């Protein structure tokens, strides 16, 4: 009986050992071919891009500081930050009491000057009649003509002062010179502003439909960027949306950032409905610097580098042969092959990863 128990115990141990060893023996028999990820060399469209980081900024003239040309007390400020305004909409009003009084005084001067002109015209007409009858001298006629000219000049001067007073009175109403969003309000009702040397700013208006992207491109890539090239960018606010843009110009002066020389590339883009972009947003920019439709390409993952040369693993009959290749253009995912392989060749992807397992 004891011998049977020993025999069953030994059998159980053997079965457990066999079970533990089974997965390893199976894996050892898996064909290495099944572990390879493969692809084919083929012609495809190749887009060479330059990646950069940028920032959204207002175009020149898209952000305006609106202020007062005259001094006075603010009596009405009907807008606030974030309000949308249209061209000509009232932004602020100044107290008009003193200016209305000055305008009324000039209006009175105009009213007094008109009858003086009428009187001088009447006197001149009588003097002409008398001179025709020999009852008035030439000197009397000259005096009447001079008085009429003076009266008319005084009337025109009063009218000019009235126009000036009315223009100044109009300065008490500050209106929007362009449509947009109120970005900042720097005064308040009841505040007295002085415009002795410069116009004090009341409201800053920003036109969100006139924005641009300033992309900072490294000096090693700027030689491939030209005006008119296509570009795309994304912002962190809408990571799923890719905005289309066009290179407008390249600023000639470089900017040094963290000891790296960058050049500023201006990009124009059209607003997209339901996606509101705002100044100072970070833009992740892709500049399309070249495109080819007939490039012989392989995935970038197929390439390995050693001793300054690049290689791919190519299937030749039942063998995999490491073949040196010469590359050309590059995109984010593919590389142009100039020499070393042919269209239709089967190549291994991620050969380093497989080897390292």
pLDDT tens for each residue of 191-212: 988 887 677 889 999 999 899 9
> Which residue did the predictor score with more confidence, 306 or 267?
267
Q: What is the DSSP string of 281-305?
A: -EEEEEEEEEEEEEEEEEEGGG-EE
- The CA distance from 66 to 271, in Å, is 25
Instruction: Tell me the range of 17-26, 137-146, 274-283 where mean pLDDT is highest.
Output: 274-283
| Residue 73 reports pLDDT greater than 90 | yes
* In the chain, beta strands by DSSP E: 37-40, 42-58, 63-67, 72-76, 84-85, 90-94, 173-175, 180-185, 192-193, 201-206, 211-218, 230-235, 238-257, 260-268, 282-299, 304-306, 309-316, 319-330, 334-339, 346-349
- The CA distance from 332 to 326, in Å, is 18
Domains for the chain: give ranges and CATH numbers. Answer: 35-44+293-356 (2.40.420.20), 50-60+208-292 (2.40.30.170), 63-94+172-206 (2.40.50.100), 96-170 (1.10.287.470)
Q: Is 114 helix (H, G, I), strand (E, B) or coil?
A: helix
pLDDT tens column, 278-293:
999 999 999 988 777 7
- The CA distance from 165 to 192, in Å, is 20
pLDDT tens column, 320-340:
888 888 888 777 777 888 888
The pLDDT mean for the chain works out to: 85
**Residue in the structure block whose two tokens are 């007062």:** 68
Q: Is 121 helix (H, G, I), strand (E, B) or coil?
A: helix
Task: Give the residues across from 291 on adjacent strands.
Answer: 47
Among 3-7, 208-212, 296-300, 320-324, which is the least confidently predicted range? Answer: 3-7
């Amino acid at each position: 009986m004891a011998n049977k128990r020993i025999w069953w115990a030994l059998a159980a141990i053997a079965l457990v050992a066999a079970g533990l060893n089974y997965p390893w023996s199976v894996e050892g028999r898996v064909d290495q071919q099944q572990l390879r990820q493969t692809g084919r060399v083929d012609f495809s469209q190749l887009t060479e891009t330059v990646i950069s980081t940028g920032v959204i900024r207002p175009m020149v003239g898209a952000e305006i500081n609106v202020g007062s040309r005259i001094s006075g007390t603010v009596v009405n400020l009907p807008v606030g930050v974030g309000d949308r305004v249209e061209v000509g909409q009232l932004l602020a009003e100044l107290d008009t009491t003193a200016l209305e009084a000055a305008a009324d005084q000039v209006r009175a001067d105009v009213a007094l000057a008109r009858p003086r002109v009428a009187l001088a015209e009447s006197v001149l007409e009588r003097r002409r009649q008398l001179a025709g009858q020999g009852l008035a001298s030439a000197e009397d006629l000259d005096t009447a003509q001079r008085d009429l000219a003076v009266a008319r000049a005084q009337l025109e001067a009063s009218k000019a002062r009235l126009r000036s007073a009315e223009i100044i009175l109009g300065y008490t109403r500050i209106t929007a010179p362009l449509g947009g969003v109120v970005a900042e309000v720097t005064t308040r009702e009841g505040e007295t502003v002085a415009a002795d040397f410069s116009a004090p700013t009341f409201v800053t208006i920003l036109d969100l439909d006139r924005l641009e992207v300033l992309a900072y491109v490294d000096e090693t890539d700027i030689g491939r960027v030209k005006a008119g090239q296509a570009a795309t960018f994304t912002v962190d606010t809408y990571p799923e949306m890719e905005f289309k843009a066009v290179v407008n110009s390249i600023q000639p002066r470089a900017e040094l950032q963290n000891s790296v020389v960058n050049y500023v590339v201006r990009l124009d883009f059209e607003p997209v409905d339901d996606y509101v972009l705002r100044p100072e947003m970070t833009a992740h920019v892709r500049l399309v610097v070249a495109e080819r439709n007939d490039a012989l390409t392989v995935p970038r993952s197929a390439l390995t580098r050693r001793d300054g040369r690049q290689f791919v693993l190519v299937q030749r009959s039942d063998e995999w042969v490491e073949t040196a290749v010469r590359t050309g253009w590059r995109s984010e995912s593919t590389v142009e092959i100039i020499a070393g392989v042919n269209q239709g060749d089967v190549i291994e992807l991620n050969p380093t990863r497989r080897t390292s397992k």
